[in-house]
């Protein structure tokens, strides 16, 4: 059973493009074609506008919350080719960094696992992917992968942090050797996996081909401690694939078709324990998919937009079966 | 590929009904966000007034029911107790224990039902009242199913007692009874039968019971055929019923609430020594006869039927589909697993059915601000994925109070979840710094073994000292102990404070040595040297000679190092010309003081008592 527990009136004056909950589910960030990014406190079923951030000069496509150990930090990307990083200092939200290194709309931003520090990947319609890394004292280091995807890059998603060998108590100051990886999806119908080399440069590690049209989103599933890695991808071709890699070296990826929709599929995202995949797009619906007892993926819920009454739920009440 | 077992549940989100818009979605830690959007990214488009609402949607809202919370709390204790039941105890005593556990679970369900029933009656708002009543029926159904499972799977009642258990089972759930018909249809006769069969001593064998029953049955038949009841059609039909005449029984259908009531009554009069494996034949025919083609079976009927067929997996599967939360299937399956009844039903990712359900249930608990603590124990008893699920969920618990944070940390520490501990401490350290609670921030960074952050906080302390001339959180700094070694800056902070202490205690020689060593060992940041040298001034001006000649030379060296090296980027932002003057004056004063001290020291050391 799925029930609406809160409705937040964002008062955005134009189309909303993204809404993201923070780590704890206490704050909500939204962004819109009206060029603003808004932050709300949504605890206890309420809504309090905390910030209305202006700075972009075009529709804002995505927002992403950084891990709370770095403070309250939000990244946003926009049609105006900019990536802006906002930070809460002394109770007020301000722009802390602005990146203008792309020649075209920036479509997607994704923070890396907190173990890698404060590191942001950005995918743009100019085909390039930028990696912004915070070096301390207000300094950001930029690395750029040019021509990552021909025509454009639509999505970026980080692999969960996995330390080779066991993570024993590291003496302070020593950083464990993580192999940083992320996936990107582009207008060349490809999904590419990128790996950071020892010299700090990013190299294309794998190319996953299965889609017949633009890849709209990729989502690398959180790790539940198993040796398998899983990536979900969706495309203009209406298909959603689940890619799995069984070996630790990460070399053979096999796709499984989850479903073919009748329309473009725009977004895929994993729940925090990676047991449910949400797919939004085709048919104006969000469908939730789960792997069942025998390894089959099945649709467990259809969250649809439409008219109809939904009872507001307050404590103590129960929906009728 | 997708194999749909049934249609997925459709949830409608209210909003402007437009064919052109799509839905945007995000996962929260315990909920989902949806809003209307248009994915096709057009560069220049006219302002389209979309729906500005974001809907926060949740599954498993049962966790928010105040009354059900008791169910969750109490069943949690029973669950934990069950996990601890000794593996060694086998045979009868173990079975008795498991039956007891089952009865405990059921009594918790009944208590919850009772309370909800009271609330339903007392509800002022009829809509509310109906919702509560509907919840009561659900709980009642759960207890019905559990009870049957207990009889068939846990108690494993053999032929004979089986029927008695079933009679009790039906009686418990059928409320409407009246008069003579009630007698016939089950409520009083069992007593007579009990006496007849002389249970629970169970001194008679099944064959003896069957013989006795046969005898009685034949007598009844004789009476019917002799027309003993011919004058009273009511009594006659009663006799027919007692002879197990299905049609006669069906004529009394209104008095039978449902098909399983019918089933048990039939069995009572036609086949009281029914064996467990025979049950499903009677069950199926009872269901068919009772429904009579009027309607199809409901989910509850299917579940009960699966139970009569001893198809445990089907029971669990049907319950999972029919019920809105995982509580029931998780606890029942766990209990059945303890009865060793579940074949290892391996899931693709290596977990088994029991664990699969417990993980689902416990994950739901984490959505609640206090019930999550129960979830921890459930994860603990899931050997395959429990730990990783706990790791993923526990990090998402909002640490709004210090108390809650400490609770979460304790849980993580007890399980050696070092990554989570570190992560949480870092989060708390950051929060503290943002709220200017430097002492707290420092403790958390130390606990997180976060050298970088400890350096940051130490710098803040030092900055504060420069601005205010005193330290905050002296207790903390004074008692750093070995933690001081975490970062150079922290070590400096600790030692610097120690210098102040020594000075306060008038242990000038020690203080002087310490001060000098802070600079010569390079522990003190360059930016702080001026402050340190200024701190040396009072020591240089004392009546007695504190710094030895050699030490004075070293101090002079430090001063020269500091002053030659300029111009260098100023440490303080934008020093004004007056500051320059102050700096020059300070340097001059120091040079003078050092020179004077040097002179005195040389003299002192040169004389006989000098040391």
Count helices and strands (H / E) in chain B: 27, 4
Could you say which of B23, B323, B449 has the minimum Cβ distance to residue A280?
A: B23
Give start and end residues of each alpha helix (H) in B123-178.
Answer: 126-149, 161-173
Nearest-angstrom CA–CA distance, A46 and A260: 38
All residues of chain B having their beta carbon less than 8 Å from the beta carbon of residue A304 are 10-13, 23
Q: Would you place residue B135 in the very low, low, confident or very high pLDDT band (cuts 50, 70, 90)?
A: confident
Task: Supply the pLDDT for residue B180.
Answer: 35
Name the closest residue on chain B to residue A239, using Cα atoms.
Answer: B1
pLDDT mean over B487-499: 90
Nearest-by-Cβ selection for B2 from A5, A299, A310: A299
Task: Report the alpha-carbon distance of residue B601 to residue B548 in Å, rounded.
Answer: 6
Count CB atoms within 10 A of the CB of residue B439: 17
What residue in A sits closest to B46 (Cα-Cα)?
Answer: A14
SS3 B417: coil
**Rounded to the nearest 10 degrees, how much is the dihedral formed by the CA atoms of A202, A204, A208, A214?**
70
Cα separation of B195 and B216, whole Å?
A: 14
Of B35, B47, B486, the CB nearest to A13: B47
- Distance between CA atoms of B125 and B485, rounded to whole angstroms? 65
Closest chain B residue to the Cα of A40, Cα to Cα: B54
Top pLDDT among A84 and B55 is at A84
Map out the domains of chain B as residue ranges.
22-59, 62-84+93-176+257-342, 346-393, 398-498, 506-564+580-610
Selected residue of B3, B5, B27 to mutate for chain A interface (largest A Cβ count, 10 A):
B27
Residues 6+ apart with CB under 8 A from B438: B432, B457, B460, B461, B464, B472, B473
Give CA–CA dist B348/A256, Å, rounded. Answer: 15
Residues of chain B above pLDDT 90, percent: 28
CA dist B168 and B309 (Å) reads 20
pLDDT at position B215: 80
| pLDDT tier for residue B257 given thresholds of 50, 70 and 90 | confident
Give B563-598 pLDDT, tens digit per residue.
886 554 455 555 555 667 778 888 888 899 999 999
Nearest to B430 among A71, A286, A317 (CB): A71
B94: pLDDT confidence band, cut at 50, 70 and 90?
confident
Name which of B197-211, B256-270, B458-472, B523-537 the model is least confident about. Answer: B197-211
Nearest to A172 among B49, B395, B486 (CB): B486
Reference B190, options B205, B179, B99, B182; nearest CA is: B182
Which residues have CB under 8 Å from A190's CB, separation 6+? A149, A207, A208, A209, A211, A215
Q: What angle do CA B61, B355, B298 make, to 5 degrees?
A: 55
Nearest to A155 by CA among A125, A131, A113, A179: A125
Q: Is the pLDDT of residue B360 over 50?
A: yes
Instruction: Select the residue of A8, A280, A303 nearest B54 (Cβ to Cβ).
Output: A8
When comparing pLDDT for A282 and B271, which is higher?
B271
> CA of B425: which chain A residue's CA is closest?
A69
Model's pTM, two decimal places?
Answer: 0.83
d(CA B423, CA B162): 56
Helix axes B438-447, B418-434, angle to 10 degrees: 170
> What 3-state DSSP class applies to B258?
coil
Residue B584's pLDDT is 84
φ/ψ of B268, rounded to 5, equals -60, -40
Residue B201 reports pLDDT greater than 70: no
- Cβ of A19 within 8 Å of Cβ of B24? The answer is yes
Burial class (CB in 10 A: 0-12, 13-18, 19+), B234: exposed
Cβ neighbours of B565 (radius 10 Å): 9
Chain A residues in contact with B62 (beta carbon < 8 A):
318
pLDDT at B5 over 50: no
When pLDDT is averaged across residues B441-469 and rounded to a whole number, the result is 88
Q: Do A20 and B33 touch (CB under 8 A)?
A: yes
**pLDDT at res. B578:** 64
Assigned CATH for A152-164+177-309: 2.130.10.10
Nearest to B80 by CA among B431, B392, B374, B402: B374
- Answer whether residue B184 shows pLDDT above 50: no
Lowest mean pLDDT among B176-185, B236-245, B485-494, B595-604: B176-185
Average the pLDDT over B330-338 and give the result. Answer: 93
Is residue A36 a contact partner of residue A12, using CB atoms and an 8 Å limit? yes
Tell me which of A81-85, B24-28, B249-253 is least confident: B249-253
Q: Vertex B606, ends B602 and B609: CA angle to 5°?
A: 120
Residue B198 pLDDT grade (very low, low, confident, very high; cuts 50, 70, 90):
very low
Work out how many CB contacts closer than 8 A connect A with B: 301
Tell me whether residues A303 and B17 touch, CB distance under 8 A. Answer: no
Whether residue B42 has pLDDT greater than 60: no
With an 8 Å Cβ cutoff, are B52 and A9 in contact? yes
Interchain pair B34, A295: CB under 8 A: no
Helix B312-322 to helix B299-308 angle (10° resolution) is: 160
Kindly tell me if the per-residue pLDDT of B543 is higher than 50. yes
Pairwise CB contact (< 8 Å): A309 & B24: no
Tens-of-pLDDT digits for all 321 residues of chain A? 566 777 888 888 888 889 999 999 899 999 999 999 999 999 888 899 999 999 999 999 999 999 999 999 999 999 999 999 999 988 899 999 999 999 999 999 999 999 999 999 999 999 999 999 999 888 999 999 999 999 999 999 999 997 654 444 445 445 567 889 999 999 999 999 999 998 989 999 999 999 999 999 999 999 888 888 899 999 999 999 999 998 766 688 999 999 899 888 999 999 888 888 988 876 677 888 887 656 667 777 665 544 332 322 222 222 222
**Long-range Cβ contact pairs of B196-199 (< 8 A, separation 24 or more):** B197/B160, B199/B160, B199/B161, B199/B164
Q: Do B398 and A59 touch (CB under 8 A)?
A: no
Report which listed range, B248-262, B366-380, B572-586, is most confident: B366-380
- Helix or strand or coil: residue A5? strand
Q: ipTM of this complex > 0.90?
A: no
Give me the helix-helix angle, B189-197 and B161-173, nearest 10°.
160
CB-based contacts of A54, cutoff 8 Å, min separation 6:
A35, A36
User: Residue with structure tokens 């109490």?
Assistant: B74
Distance (Å, rounded) from C-alpha B165 to C-alpha B161? Answer: 6
The answer to whether B407 and B388 are in contact (CB under 8 A) is: no
- E-state strands within A70-225: 73-78, 83-89, 92-99, 106-111, 119-124, 129-136, 139-145, 153-158, 181-186, 190-196, 202-209, 215-220
How far apart are the C-alpha atoms of B274 and B58, rounded to whole Å? 47
- Confidence (pLDDT) at B571: 52
Using a CB-CB cut-off of 8 Å, the residues of chain A touching B324 are 1, 319, 321
More confident residue, B14 or B132: B132
Q: Could you tell me the residue ranges of all domains in chain A?
A: 152-164+177-309
Q: Which of A216, A161, A164, A166 is nearest to A189 (CA)?
A: A216
Please give the backbone phi and psi of residue B300, each rounded to the nearest 5 degrees, phi first. Answer: -60, -40
Q: What six digits make up the tokens of A223?
A: 């790790």
Find the CB nearest B37 among A3, A16, A320.
Answer: A16
Q: Do A224 and B67 touch (CB under 8 A)?
A: no
| Mean pLDDT of the B148-173 span | 90
Q: Determine, for residues A315 and B64 on separate chains, whether the beta-carbon distance falls below 8 Å.
A: yes
Residue B433 neighbours by CB under 8 Å, 6+ apart: B441, B456, B457, B460
Residue B354 is encoded by which pair of tokens?
Answer: 């029991």
Q: Which pLDDT does position B576 carry in this prediction?
A: 56
Q: Do B434 and A28 touch (CB under 8 A)?
A: no
Cα→Cα distances B49→A58, A307, B369, B399, Å: 16, 18, 36, 38
Pairwise pLDDT comparison (B503 vs B236), residue with the higher score: B503
> CA A266, A271, A272, A274: dihedral to nearest 10 degrees?
-100
* Confidence bin at B271 (pLDDT 50/70/90): confident
**Structural contact between residues B537 and B590, judged by C-beta atoms closer than 8 angstroms:** yes
């Amino acid at each position: 059973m799925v029930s609406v527990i809160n409705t937040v009136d964002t008062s955005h004056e134009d189309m909303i493009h993204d809404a993201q909950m923070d780590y704890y589910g206490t704050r909500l960030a939204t962004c819109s074609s009206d060029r603003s990014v808004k932050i709300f406190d949504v605890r206890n079923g309420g809504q309090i506008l905390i910030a209305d951030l202006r700075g972009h000069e075009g529709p804002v496509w995505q927002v992403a919350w950084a891990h709370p150990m770095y403070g309250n930090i939000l990244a946003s990307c926009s049609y105006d080719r900019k990536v802006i990083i906002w930070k809460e200092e002394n109770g007020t939200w301000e722009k802390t960094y602005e990146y203008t290194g792309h020649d075209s709309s920036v479509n997607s931003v994704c923070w890396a696992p907190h173990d890698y520090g404060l590191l942001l990947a950005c995918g743009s319609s100019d085909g390039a992917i930028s990696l912004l890394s915070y070096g301390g004292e207000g300094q950001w280091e930029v690395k750029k992968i040019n021509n990552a995807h021909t025509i454009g890059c639509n999505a970026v998603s980080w692999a969960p942090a996995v330390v080779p060998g066991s993570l024993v108590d590291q003496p302070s100051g020593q950083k464990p050797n993580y192999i940083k990886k992320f996936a990107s999806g582009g207008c060349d119908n490809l999904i590419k996996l990128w790996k950071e080399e020892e010299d700090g440069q990013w190299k294309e590690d794998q190319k996953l081909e299965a889609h017949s049209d633009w890849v709209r989103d990729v989502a690398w599933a959180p790790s539940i401690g198993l040796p398998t890695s899983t990536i979900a991808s969706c495309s203009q071709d209406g298909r959603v694939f689940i890619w799995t890699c069984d070996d630790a070296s990460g070399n053979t990826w096999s796709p499984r078709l989850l479903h073919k929709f009748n329309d473009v599929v725009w977004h895929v995202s994993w729940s925090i324990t990676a047991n449910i995949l949400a797919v939004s797009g085709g048919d104006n619906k969000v469908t939730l998919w789960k792997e069942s007892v025998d390894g089959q993926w099945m649709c467990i819920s259809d969250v649809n937009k439409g008219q109809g009454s939904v009872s507001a739920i307050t404590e103590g009440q129960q929906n009728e079966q | 590929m997708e194999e749909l077992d049934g249609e997925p549940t459709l949830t409608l989100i209210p909003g402007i009904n437009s064919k052109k818009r799509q839905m945007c979605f995000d996962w929260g830690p315990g909920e989902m966000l949806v809003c209307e959007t248009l994915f096709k990214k057009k560069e220049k488009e006219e302002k389209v007034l979309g729906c500005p609402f974001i809907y926060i949607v949740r599954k498993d809202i049962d966790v928010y029911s105040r009354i059900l919370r008791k169910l969750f709390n109490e069943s949690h204790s029973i669950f934990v107790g069950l996990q601890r039941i000794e593996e060694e105890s086998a045979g009868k005593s173990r079975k008795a224990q498991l039956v007891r556990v089952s009865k405990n679970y059921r009594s918790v369900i009944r208590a919850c039902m009772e309370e909800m029933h009271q609330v339903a009656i007392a509800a002022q708002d009829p809509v509310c009242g109906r919702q509560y009543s509907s919840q009561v029926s659900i709980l009642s159904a759960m207890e019905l199913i559990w009870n049957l499972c207990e009889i068939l799977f846990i108690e494993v009642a053999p032929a004979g007692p089986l029927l008695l258990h079933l009679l009790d089972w039906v009686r418990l759930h059928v409320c409407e009874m009246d008069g003579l018909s009630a007698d016939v249809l089950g409520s009083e006769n069992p007593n007579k039968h009990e006496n007849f069969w002389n249970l629970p001593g169970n001194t008679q064998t099944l064959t003896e019971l069957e013989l006795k029953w046969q005898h009685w049955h034949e007598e009844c038949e004789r009476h019917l055929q002799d027309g003993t009841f011919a004058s009273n059609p009511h009594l006659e039909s009663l006799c027919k019923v007692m002879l197990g005449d299905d049609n006669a029984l069906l004529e009394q259908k209104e008095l039978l609430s449902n098909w399983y009531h019918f089933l048990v009554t039939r069995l009572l009069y036609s086949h009281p020594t029914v064996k467990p494996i025979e049950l499903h034949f009677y069950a199926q025919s009872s269901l068919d006869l009772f429904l009579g083609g009027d309607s199809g079976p409901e989910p509850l009927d299917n579940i009960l039927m699966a139970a009569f067929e001893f198809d445990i997996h089907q029971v669990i599967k049907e319950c999972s589909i029919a019920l809105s939360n995982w509580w029931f299937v998780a606890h029942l399956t766990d209990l059945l697993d303890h009865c060793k009844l579940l074949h290892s039903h391996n899931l693709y990712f290596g977990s088994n059915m029991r664990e699969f359900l417990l993980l689902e249930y416990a994950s739901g608990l984490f959505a609640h601000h206090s019930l999550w603590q129960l979830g921890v124990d459930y994860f603990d008893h899931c050997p395959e994925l429990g730990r990783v699920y706990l790791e993923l969920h526990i990090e998402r618990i909002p640490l709004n109070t210090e108390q809650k944070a400490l609770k979460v940390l304790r849980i993580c520490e007890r399980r050696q979840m070092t990554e989570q501990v570190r992560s949480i401490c870092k989060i708390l350290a950051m929060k503290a710094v943002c709220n200017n609670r430097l002492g707290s921030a420092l403790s958390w960074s130390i606990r997180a073994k976060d050298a970088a952050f400890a350096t940051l906080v130490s710098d803040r302390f030092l900055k504060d000292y420069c601005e205010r001339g005193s330290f905050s959180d002296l207790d903390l700094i004074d008692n750093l102990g070995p933690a001081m070694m975490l970062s150079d800056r922290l070590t400096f902070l600790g030692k610097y404070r120690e210098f102040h202490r020594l000075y306060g205690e008038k242990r000038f020689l020690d203080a002087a040595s310490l001060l000098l060593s802070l600079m010569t060992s390079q522990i003190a940041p360059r930016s702080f040297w001026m402050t340190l040298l200024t701190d040396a001034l009072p020591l240089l001006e004392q009546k007695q000679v504190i710094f030895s000649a050699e030490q004075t030379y070293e101090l002079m060296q430090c001063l020269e190092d500091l002053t030659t090296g300029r111009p260098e980027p100023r440490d303080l932002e934008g020093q004004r010309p007056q500051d320059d003057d102050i700096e020059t004056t300070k340097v001059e004063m120091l040079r003078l003081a050092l020179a004077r001290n040097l002179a005195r020291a040389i003299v002192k050391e040169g004389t006989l008592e000098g040391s």
